[in-house]
C-alpha cells in the first residue's frame, strides 16, 4: 500500500486534520480538542489502513514460515526495523529491539543488564523527575543486589541540578529521561553521557517524550540504551523500541525467554539467536511494528525539525496565555528552547481532576494526576498537576480554547 501524505493543497493544517478521523467527533456537542498526546497520540488514517490491510491480506507469523504469507510478513517487519534504525540514526539493525513499549524496554535493561552487572555497594544514579518506568526497575535491582540509589535534584526553574554530580565519585549506571513528561525539561543527554562514561558506567535514557517530538540522533547523544513507545508517535499501542549499543547487547543475557530468541536448545544447554532477535521472545507484535514504520514515514514526511518548531510555537503561546491567569502556576522551564511540548500547571482552589472534568465539558481533553511521576510531585509539594500537551494536529485555536475555558474556571473559583 502506498501511503498518501499531506502537501497537495498547500494547507498543511487542513490536510493534517483530515488525516485523523477522531477529530470528526464531538464531545458534549463541541469539537474535540485533544491535549493529551504526552500520554498517547492520535493515529492518522495511513497508520490505521496499514493495520487493517496487514491483518486482512498478509497476516502470518514472522521468521517461522517458508510460505508466501510468512515471508511477506517477515520482510515487512524487518523493513520497519530498518525505518526505526534510520529514524534514530542507530549504527545497525542489530541495535534495534522491538518491545511492547518504553516501559518494557526499560524493565528489560534493568532486569537483564542490571541484574547481570550491578554488584553490592554499586551506585545507581536516577533523577527526581523520572517516570516510574525508569525508576522502579532500578530500585528493585538496588534492593536485590544491595546497591545504592542516588537522585539528581532539580533547580527552582525545573532543570537538573548537575552540581549534585560532584558529590558522586563512582557510578555504574545513570538512568535519565530525555524530556520530562511533567516539567517538559529537555535534559543535556550528551553531557550526562560523558559524565557517566568517564566513570566507566552506562547511561539508560527514557526517550518516550523526545522521539515523537524532535530529531533524535543516537550517535550524537552517545547513549548506551534508549527506549521509546510507538503509541506516542502516531503508531499503535503495544509496540516500542529498545536501542542498545551492539557491544553491550552482545554481552547481555536476555530477560524474556522462549520462542524466537532461541537458536538451539538441548536438554542441558541453549544458544541464543543473533541480535536483535535474542531479545524478542515469543510472537512479536509484527503488525504493530509495520504500523510504527508507517507512523515514522508520516513524521518524516512532515520533517522532525518542523514538528519541533511547531510544538515550540504552541508551547510558547500556551505559556504566554496561561500566565495571564493569576491563579495558575506553571511548572518547568519557561524558555521553550529547553522545553518539550507539555505544560503542567495548578490552579488555586481547584483540584487538577476538577480542572480536567470542567475542561471536558468544553470538549478539551487534558491529563490530571501525578503522571506516573509521584516522587517529582512530592518534591514539588503538590499531589497532582493538570497537564496539557501538544502535537502535530494542534493549532493556535486549541490553545485559545484552553485559555478561555481555564479563565472561566478561574473566575468560578477565584473571583
Q: Which residues are catalytic?
A: 372
**202-206/173-177 β-pairing:** parallel
Identify which of 363, 281, 285 has the alpha carbon closest to the alpha carbon of residue 34: 363
d(CA 175, CA 185): 15
d(CA 214, CA 225): 18
Identify which of 157, 125, 161, 164 has the alpha carbon closest to the alpha carbon of residue 141: 125
| DSSP calls for 54-93 | HHHHT---SSS--SHHHHHHHHHHHHHHHHHHHHHT-S-G
- SS3 category, 137: helix
d(CA 374, CA 129): 9
- SS3 category, 324: coil
Amino acid at each position: 500500500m502506498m501511503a498518501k501524505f499531506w502537501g497537495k493543497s498547500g494547507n498543511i493544517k487542513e490536510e493534517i486534520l483530515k488525516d485523523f478521523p477522531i477529530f470528526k467527533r464531538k464531545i458534549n456537542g463541541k469539537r474535540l480538542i485533544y491535549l493529551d498526546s504526552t500520554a498517547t497520540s492520535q493515529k492518522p488514517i495511513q497508520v490505521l489502513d496499514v493495520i487493517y490491510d496487514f491483518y486482512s491480506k498478509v497476516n502470518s507469523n514472522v521468521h517461522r514460515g517458508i510460505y508466501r504469507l510468512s515471508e511477506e510478513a517477515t520482510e515487512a517487519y524487518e523493513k520497519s526495523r530498518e525505518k526505526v534504525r534510520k529514524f534514530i540514526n542507530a549504527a545497525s539493525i542489530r541495535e534495534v529491539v522491538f518491545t511492547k513499549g518504553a516501559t518494557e524496554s526499560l524493565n528489560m535493561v534493568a532486569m537483564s543488564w542490571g541484574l547481570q552487572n550491578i554488584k553490592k555497594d554499586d551506585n545507581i544514579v536516577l533523577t527526581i523527575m523520572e517516570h516510574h518506568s525508569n525508576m522502579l526497575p532500578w530500585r528493585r535491582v538496588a534492593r536485590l543486589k544491595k546497591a545504592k540509589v542516588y537522585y539528581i535534584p532539580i533547580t527552582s526553574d525545573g532543570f537538573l541540578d548537575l552540581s549534585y554530580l560532584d558529590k558522586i565519585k563512582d557510578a555504574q549506571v545513570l538512568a535519565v529521561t530525555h524530556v520530562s513528561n511533567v516539567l517538559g525539561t529537555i535534559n543535556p543527554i550528551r553531557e550526562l553521557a560523558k559524565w557517566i562514561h568517564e566513570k566507566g558506567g552506562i547511561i539508560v535514557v527514557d526517550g518516550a517524550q523526545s522521539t515523537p517530538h524532535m530529531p533524535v540522533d543516537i550517535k550524537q547523544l552517545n547513549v548506551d540504551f534508549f527506549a521509546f513507545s510507538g503509541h506516542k508517535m502516531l503508531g499503535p499501542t503495544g509496540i516500542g523500541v529498545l536501542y542498545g549499543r551492539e557491544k553491550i547487547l552482545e554481552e547481555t543475557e536476555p530477560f524474556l525467554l522462549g520462542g524466537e530468541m532461541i537458536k538451539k536448545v538441548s536438554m542441558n544447554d541453549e544458544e541464543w539467536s543473533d541480535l536483535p532477535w535474542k531479545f524478542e521472545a515469543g510472537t512479536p507484535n509484527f503488525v504493530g511494528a509495520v504500523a510504527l514504520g508507517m507512523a515514522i514515514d508520516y513524521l518524516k514526511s512532515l520533517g522532525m525539525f518542523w514538528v519541533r518548531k511547531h510544538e515550540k510555537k504552541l508551547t510558547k503561546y500556551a505559556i504566554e496565555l496561561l500566565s495571564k491567569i493569576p491563579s495558575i502556576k506553571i511548572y518547568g522551564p519557561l524558555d521553550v528552547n529547553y522545553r518539550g511540548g507539555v505544560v503542567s500547571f495548578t490552579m488555586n482552589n481547584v483540584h487538577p481532576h476538577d480542572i480536567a472534568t470542567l475542561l471536558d465539558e468544553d470538549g478539551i481533553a487534558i491529563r490530571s494526576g501525578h503522571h506516573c511521576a509521584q516522587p517529582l510531585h512530592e518534591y514539588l509539594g503538590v499531589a497532582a498537576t493538570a497537564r496539557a500537551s501538544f502535537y502535530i494536529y494542534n493549532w493556535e485555536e486549541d490553545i485559545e480554547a484552553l485559555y478561555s475555558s481555564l479563565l472561566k474556571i478561574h473566575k468560578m473559583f477565584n473571583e
